[in-house]
Amino acid sequence: FGPNTFTDVEWGNGKENPDVFNPTDLDCRQWAATAKAAGMKGIVITAKHHDGFCLWPSKYSTHTVRESPWKEGKGDVLKELSDACREYGLKFGVYLSPWDQNHPDYGTPGYNQIFANTLNEVLSNYGDVFEQWFDGANGEGEGGKKQIYDWNLFHNTVYRNQPHAIIFSDVGPGCRWMGNEKGIAGETNWSTMNIDGFEPGLKAPSVDVLNTGEQGGKAWVPAETDVSIRPGWFYSPSTDDKIKTVDELVDIYYTSIGRNSNLLLNVPPDRSGRIHPSDSMRLMEFRKAIEQDFKENLMKGAIVRSNTASLYKIENVNDSSYETYWTPQDHNLSPSIEIDFKKLISLNRILLQEYIPLGQRVSSFNIKYWNDGVKDWADLAEATTIGYKRILRFPVVTTTKIKIDFNALASPVISTIEVYRASEQLSVPIIERDKSGLVVLKCKTPDPSIYYTIDGQEPSLSSVKYERPFLLPKGGNVKAIAIVGEGMSKSDIANVSFDIAPDKWTVVSPSVVGISKIIDGSKNTSIEIDFDEAIIVDLGEVLNLKGFSYMPKVNVQASNILKYDFFVSLDNQNWHKMKSNAIFNNIKNNPIVQNVPFNKAVDARYLKIRPTELTNKADKYSIAELSVITQ
């Protein structure tokens, strides 16, 4: 939340007028009430983002709420939010970006102390802070200001004020970034990592290491998975209909919390200063879906046995207490547990927990179920790490008992085993369009009925039923819903907006094998191009352009375009520069489609984009799709 909420950008540049920050109905109690009702445990607020704007009246900046018209310069978002968190029993955390594009001392040795003073101010005035969120951002690129951050100074400032605070960054030291902003922790996820010699930002470990941790790592730096409920991190009116579906949020739950990670789900307040009704409703639907998945623990009444002598009772895994646990005798690294349900049950979820005060020990495990038809054990699921919590999903099986075999670095210490039968979520329809403009609707759920609209209306049983692909060459808004079963179970609504299909387009240059992938209508195909080669596209006709879109390769390790020049032309000879060394904000960590509006519409037949800087140092840049905005 900040000036970017009102300017429709992901990264402000510090030059925005503080007058833009003027929420009409800011209500932090509404934020807290929403978070509490959604089942969340705390709130982390972007107290200062990269633009340097402070949501409190800082003594160390002139770019703050004090200079804004909100509450006539007498407001303090941090005070209102920390008070609201206490009222609703939520933990209160703060994000402060060390990068500051507004402060005149940024890039000088004196800035580190200024930032430490800023930290001290925040951490000493608003009560308990459970998490201090850092990143290592310095996105000014080549030729921009460089600041060598004094992380020891920053960390000491945090601990002096908030000794129990968890510090988040690429390398902790409290908890670590997962290497992506998609909500996906590694299927293998150790809470240990080697952090000596590394720093947040450019000196961080590889994203592969961040995603999985390191077995035997010297530091305890468990994972925190961060993702936004919208495509970007700040509110934008253009994303009101692009909120993640319940299906997507449930998947994120299983790939974060279900893989030994904390989940930080960004929900950006809107321009009124409140959580938008669409976001709030989706959060409630999300909580309901998770509660339904874990409504009844089928372990109740089950008999649990171990194949080995135990130091602690095997029944402890089934007593609903995290503080009690089972462990075999020392040096037994491969014990087994058998669970007899004493009746036939159907299951598709298994939850396991290690007792983390004694470390993370399990390196792999497999689960079998008793197949009564062949009177033998059959494979059900296998995985690597467990950690604080691991949840496995699999197709429904019906059985009377299961067996779990562990492999561990030391005798495993298992606190909890739970078993569930979750209802299968009806998948949201997938909407795709090819180069010719042919739209195809499909669904992962077998044989649903799909209904759709192309006029912006919400689809229902009275809408057009999808029978075959249909043409939409001039663009439009396609919404679709899947409906299945006698009870008419409904999916979330899929919503995709298309502009003009690239049927008439050709790539003039460069002449590279596979270059047509960038105008094939698919975001799933991409190509690499030499850094010194610009892309020129012939649209086949003169169009009135309001902007353009760049779809990067969806991989944080890809060398996507960070900064660029963009041109238009009527004749492929005389070019008009529309954007000069412009930046795709946050594209490195969040490689999603970049929609770039022009200041005013322009007629053009040819487009040209030329990279000036990439997200990673490389000789080639990646691109999945280049398209136009005419609507």
Digit-coded pLDDT (tens) for 64-88: 999 999 999 999 999 999 999 999 9
**3 state SS of 233:** coil
By mean pLDDT, which of 137-141, 183-187, 271-275 is the weakest?
137-141
Query: Which pLDDT score, from 0 to 100, does residue 533 have?
Result: 97
Q: How far is CA 465 from the centre of its chain?
A: 33
C-alpha separations of 388 from 110, 257, 259, 293, 391 in Å: 42, 9, 9, 19, 10
- Determine the Cα angle at 559 with ends 555 and 562, to 5°: 105
Residue 334 CA to residue 362 CA, distance in Å, equals 9
pTM > 0.85: yes or no: yes
Confidence class for position 487, pLDDT limits 50, 70, 90: low
Mean pLDDT within 386-392:
98
Mean predicted lDDT score pLDDT of the chain: 95
C-alpha separations of 188 from 268, 290, 450, 512, 513 in Å: 30, 23, 36, 38, 37
Residue 11 corresponds to which amino acid?
Answer: W
Residue 535 CA to residue 514 CA, distance in Å, equals 13
Confidence class for position 137, pLDDT limits 50, 70, 90: confident
Contacts of 375 (CB under 8 A, 6+ apart): none
Query: Which pLDDT score, from 0 to 100, does residue 39 have?
Result: 97
C-alpha separations of 116 from 93, 123, 127, 156, 551 in Å: 17, 10, 18, 9, 38
Residues 552 and 591 sit within 8 Å (Cβ to Cβ): yes
Residue 339 CA to residue 334 CA, distance in Å, equals 17
Residue 252 corresponds to which amino acid?
Answer: I
Query: Which pLDDT score, from 0 to 100, does residue 140 have?
Result: 76
Q: What is the pLDDT of residues 343-358, one digit of tens each?
A: 999 999 999 999 999 9
Exposed / middle / buried, residue 175 (Cβ in 10 Å: 0-12, 13-18, 19+): buried
Q: What are phi and psi of 609, to 5 degrees?
A: -125, 135
Query: Which pLDDT score, from 0 to 100, does residue 309 have?
Result: 83
Mean pLDDT within 245-258:
96
- Determine the Cα angle at 577 with ends 571 and 579, to 5°: 140
Confidence class for position 7, pLDDT limits 50, 70, 90: very high
pLDDT at 488 over 70: no
Q: What is the pLDDT of residues 300-315, one digit of tens each?
A: 999 999 988 888 999 9
pLDDT at 471 over 90: yes
Residue 502 CA to residue 626 CA, distance in Å, equals 9
By mean pLDDT, which of 143-152, 215-224, 458-467, 591-600 is the weakest?
143-152
pLDDT at 445 over 90: no
